[in-house]
Chain A
Amino acid sequence: MKRFLFRRILQLIPTLFIVAIIVFFITRMLPGNPAAVMLGPQASAEDIAAYSEQLGLNEPLHRQFFDYLGNLVKFDFGNSLSYNQPIADLIMERFPNTVILAISALIIAVIIGVPAGILAAKKQNTFLDYFITTFSLVGVSMPIFWLGVMLALYFSVNLGWLPSTGMGSLDNGLWDFLSHLILPSIALATIPTAQFARIIRSSMLETISHDYIKTARSKGLREFIVINKHALKNALTPLLTVMGLQFSNLLGGAVLTETIFSWPGMGLLIVNAIEKRDFVVVQNTVIFIAVIYVVINLIVDVLYKVVNPKINLDSDKGGA
């Protein structure tokens, strides 16, 4: 376990380095001078030139890059000029909001997707199975932007039941908090729900054909236990993989969903920072998200071990 963690942390370094390179150069490819964008259309040419100088934009590109790397190594995220506050604060303010949205979407996906997948597998080739399979096929290919807009239009504009923008606060009561959360969570949960249902269905079908399921039945166990204990635990490994991927995706900030519902999370932060050409914010937010990705993957690998005792994390074969 220790060796495993050590190896994984070492692997983190080249990953982050590559991410840093990519995001640095992509942001530089955006059209428009950041100084000009930030100062607005009224700014004079001299102001813009002076501001560019102050931002270090006149330095050669490689100098800018190494300065940026140097700061990263020192864990110095720097300041955001457009928000006028330290970027670390900015991230810490937004990240919990993204976590809330991601967790609630994941909960919905697990609560609906997993039982649906189990049911479809148990009733293979029945109407129920076809129904669930069709729905999950539609679900995984759902355009989230469209779905989000439809949800907002119907439930908040037409029916007026739920707010369609912003985040509620617990200070205004539980309902204020939940009501703001519902629509974006549903939009965000759609694809993972469908994906979980599909994964669980196919891995359950595979698992149910194993001998140990026949053994479980031959012992006189109830069918409920045979399915939900003996088969399910074996079927969880592939689910864990997609769950980890989905969760790190969600934590990276659901850019579309957060934009549609003006949810003040990481996704919206990046979008706004790009609009304002606030490169440092974009770069450091993306780096932060990359770290989260790696950490989640690490947790998933440790969970594999919990689900499947055969996996030995310290051997080279393990964890795959």
Chain B
Amino acid sequence: MSESILNVKNLQVEFKSGSIITRAVNGVSFALNKNENIGIVGESGSGKSVTATSILRLIPSSSAKITGGEIILNGRDLLKLSNREMRKVRGNEISMIFQDPSTSLNPVFTVGNQLIETIRAHKKLTKKEAKQRAIELLELVGIPAPEKRINMYPHEFSGGMRQRVMIAIALACDPKILIADEPTTALDVTVQAQILNLMKDLQEKLDMSIIMITHDLGVVWEMCDQILVMYAGRVVESAKVEDLYHNPLHPYTWGLLESQITESQDSHAPLASIPGSPPDLSYEIKGCPFVDRCPYAQDICHNEAPKLIEPTEGHAVACHFQTETEKLERRENAYINGDTIRS
């Protein structure tokens, strides 16, 4: 069995605005294995980014709060660390890159400055050594003429190059985990593939694990070992990528797969071709959160929340109907309704 390096257990995150409490993440659990990548998918607002930023404890402290759970990294619960200890984790053991490289780099400092300060925040290097390391990093992520580029400002780079710079910054201290929150969404289609290839290369070269948040299931098939399907702040299905691909269990996942097929032309398309919209997270949800949109919903779905169960080893799903006959029935219906899901 592969060894897990990060364990998120029953994570709960709430946003508070006045008297309204939004449960953005509601009991998310997953394990990230060494040298493996996990993909997190789910439509907009399902809590992917909040889950990811909570791992680094970077959610806005004024409005959001982690109200429960554990995040275990190397035997330590990150939620119990002091701010100082947490700083040593950020950018050093776990790094993060964001969606839009044109806003995630600071416009008023050179890329060299932003790289070097990261290196020096965690490693005892002289300015000169850090600069040398920065040049190597830029080279590593495929930026030509790094000795010159290091003195340039972010606006002098193209979108793809900026994301490479972000990756260089994230990798500055050899983190074991890289969290990538839709790292290619803001880029041109041609550049997207280059960035993904780069990430894949580096992941193998540097022995790290990636948490890849994406709207694009293609990216998951391509890069990830595990997949986590999120809906309304919960995990509704999680599995090895092949298992989910061949045998998706949750009706929401079916919808996702289907929308991916019909809209595969445009990888920017949201995964929301499933009719209806997710529930308002500021209300208590009594039954299954997907009930309003689920074609197979029964009475029990309205009244009882389905638990995350593991019908087969390593493949978990939160839906009431998981016996073989029930599944068959529903799959058949799905084929009739949607012609084919996949063949």
Please report which residues of chain A, range 265-302, place their CB below 8 angstroms from some CB of chain B when the two chains form the complex.
Answer: none
A217 touches B107 (CB 8 A): no
Can you offer 24 A-B residue contacts whose CB atoms are under 8 A?
A211-B98, A211-B100, A211-B103, A212-B106, A214-B53, A214-B104, A215-B105, A217-B58, A218-B91, A219-B91, A219-B117, A221-B117, A223-B83, A225-B117, A229-B109, A230-B109, A233-B108, A233-B109, A234-B108, A308-B107, A308-B108, A309-B153, A309-B155, A310-B153
A222 touches B95 (CB 8 A): no
* Residues A307 and B108 in contact in the complex (CB < 8 Å), given A220-B90, A220-B118: yes
Nearest chain B CB to A200 CB, angstrom units: 16
Chain A residue contacts of B169, Cβ below 8 A: 215, 219
Interface: B337 (CB within 8 A): no
User: Once the chains are docked, how many angstroms separate the CA of A86 from the CA of B153?
Assistant: 52
Chain B residue contacts of A222, Cβ below 8 A: 87, 121
Please report which residues of chain B, range 98-130, place their CB below 8 angstroms from some CB of chain A when the two chains form the complex.
Answer: 98, 100, 103-109, 117-118, 121-122
Other CB < 8 Å A-B pairs besides A215-B166, A218-B58, A221-B91, 9 of them?
A211-B100, A217-B58, A218-B90, A219-B117, A220-B91, A220-B118, A220-B121, A234-B107, A309-B153
Nearest chain A CB to B276 CB, angstrom units: 31
Nearest chain A CB to B246 CB, angstrom units: 36
With CB as the reference atom, state the residue of chain A lying closest to B155: A310
With CB as the reference atom, state the residue of chain B lying closest to A237: B108
Nearest chain B CB to A212 CB, angstrom units: 4
Interface: A62 (CB within 8 A): no
* Residues A220 and B87 in contact in the complex (CB < 8 Å), given A212-B104, A212-B105: yes
Interface: A210 (CB within 8 A): yes
Complex partner residue of A220 from B62, B92, B106, B107, CB under 8 angstroms: B92
Interface: A15 (CB within 8 A): no
Nearest chain B CB to A229 CB, angstrom units: 8
Interface: A141 (CB within 8 A): no
Interface flags, A111-135, vs B, CB<8A=1, else 0: 0000000000000110000000000
Interface: A216 (CB within 8 A): yes
Nearest chain B CB to A224 CB, angstrom units: 11
* Residues A124 and B62 in contact in the complex (CB < 8 Å), given A219-B169, A309-B155: yes
A211 touches B104 (CB 8 A): yes
Nearest chain A CB to B60 CB, angstrom units: 9
Chain A residue contacts of B117, Cβ below 8 A: 219, 221, 225, 229
With CB as the reference atom, state the residue of chain B lying closest to A307: B108
**Interface residue range, chain B:** 20 to 34
User: Once the chains are docked, how many angstroms separate the CA of A125 from the CA of B109?
Assistant: 30
B104 touches A215 (CB 8 A): yes
User: Once the chains are docked, how many angstroms separate the CA of A216 from the CA of B118?
Assistant: 9
B106 touches A216 (CB 8 A): yes
Chain B residue contacts of A212, Cβ below 8 A: 103-107
User: Once the chains are docked, how many angstroms separate the CA of A129 from the CA of B104?
Assistant: 28
Query: Which residues of B come within 8 Å of A, CB atoms?
Result: 53, 56, 58, 62, 83, 87-92, 95-96, 98, 100, 103-109, 117-118, 121-122, 153, 155, 166, 169, 172
Interface flags, A192-231, vs B, CB<8A=1, else 0: 0000000000000000001110111111111101000110
A310 touches B107 (CB 8 A): yes
User: Once the chains are docked, how many angstroms separate the CA of A229 from the CA of B106?
Assistant: 10
Chain B residue contacts of A233, Cβ below 8 A: 108-109
User: Once the chains are docked, how many angstroms separate the CA of A268 from the CA of B271?
Assistant: 72
A220 touches B122 (CB 8 A): yes
User: Once the chains are docked, how many angstroms separate the CA of A234 from the CA of B107?
Assistant: 8
Chain A residue contacts of B121, Cβ below 8 A: 219-222
B108 touches A218 (CB 8 A): no
With CB as the reference atom, state the residue of chain A lying closest to B106: A212
With CB as the reference atom, state the residue of chain A lying closest to B153: A309
| Interface core residue of B92, B96, B104, B122 (most chain A CB under 10 Å) | B104
User: Once the chains are docked, how many angstroms separate the CA of A98 from the CA of B101?
Assistant: 48
User: Once the chains are docked, how many angstroms separate the CA of A220 from the CA of B100?
Assistant: 20
Chain A residue contacts of B172, Cβ below 8 A: 219
| Interface core residue of B62, B87, B172 (most chain A CB under 10 Å) | B87
User: Once the chains are docked, how many angstroms separate the CA of A308 from the CA of B92?
Assistant: 29
Complex partner residue of B106 from A223, A234, A307, CB under 8 angstroms: A234
Chain B residue contacts of A214, Cβ below 8 A: 53, 58, 98, 104
With CB as the reference atom, state the residue of chain A lying closest to B117: A221
User: Once the chains are docked, how many angstroms separate the CA of A223 from the CA of B86?
Assistant: 12
With CB as the reference atom, state the residue of chain A lying closest to B92: A220
A218 touches B95 (CB 8 A): yes
Chain A residue contacts of B58, Cβ below 8 A: 214, 217-218
Chain B residue contacts of A229, Cβ below 8 A: 109, 117
With CB as the reference atom, state the residue of chain B lying closest to A210: B103
Chain B residue contacts of A225, Cβ below 8 A: 117
User: Once the chains are docked, how many angstroms separate the CA of A210 from the CA of B105?
Assistant: 10
B62 touches A215 (CB 8 A): no
User: Once the chains are docked, how many angstroms separate the CA of A63 from the CA of B103?
Assistant: 61
A309 touches B92 (CB 8 A): no
User: Once the chains are docked, how many angstroms separate the CA of A312 from the CA of B192?
Assistant: 30
